[in-house]
Structure 1
């Protein structure tokens, strides 16, 4: 099995990626923004999660760093390609869950994502790709550089849009009115 993963992980990674896209399509997610526009960067607002990249793309890169670290510690004997497959599976599962009605509604009620309607398939596919970028970067970079990059990818969105991965998770799990007020500029 280990040898199969070593030789076939790129094919298996593509298959997982394609299965996630097919699942999102079967769920009725729009392939691109309903506005018909495709841009590299989504502006802050309801259309941001419809474009290729947005402020939350940094969160998905961080996922890659975190998955690499956790899987490196927990599964050292599994080849890196196998660990990447596990990370892709987790990220793809999150993208599918994140675009389910229950999570979309949770975002609307507990976070600053007013008008959030879920991601386009293009954005979800990009989110999975960003996680892969983070995973592969974490594999190559020294620990200090990884920590510095993750810190920057948390601080810059926090300053720019008053949100980041930490606040996003916090608000989904245990919403805080004071954080919501701060994010809204109140």
Structure 2
């Protein structure tokens, strides 16, 4: 079976700081390990992070947001729930697909067509969290089984409640950030 989904593509190399692209920086708030701030130049917005805080030792299912620097690869959006976000990053409609989180599966940490027998996260959600979703270059090339999957930059729940390991911001903030991001943009967590 061939996948006719728009899959995120890895760019040849992540630019070094100061070369090209931009960096969004995420830090936790000292009082709440699951809340943080995201800074991008002069823009500073609140964000939610994983229920397990930020970890340098990310493992599948631990609820932690992985520390590191990850390129923003692909923006997906729900056409039925809003207009196409403005961005110089690649933008495509969110496919009716899943994201495999089964470490033993050959498509671990990748888009999968539905139905899928392996454990996966459904991307078309009833809530608005994935109405705008950005795939991060986290454990993708190659995907190492058990080191975490479906680490996205997406929309936050009201009250910025913890994520399962992603970084999440309010929709108006996401729209501003994506409009300012260009090729080579990355998110630095930790």
Q: Structure 1-normalised TM-score? A: 0.29
Name the one with the larger helix percent.
Answer: 1
Q: Which has the larger radius of gyration?
A: 1
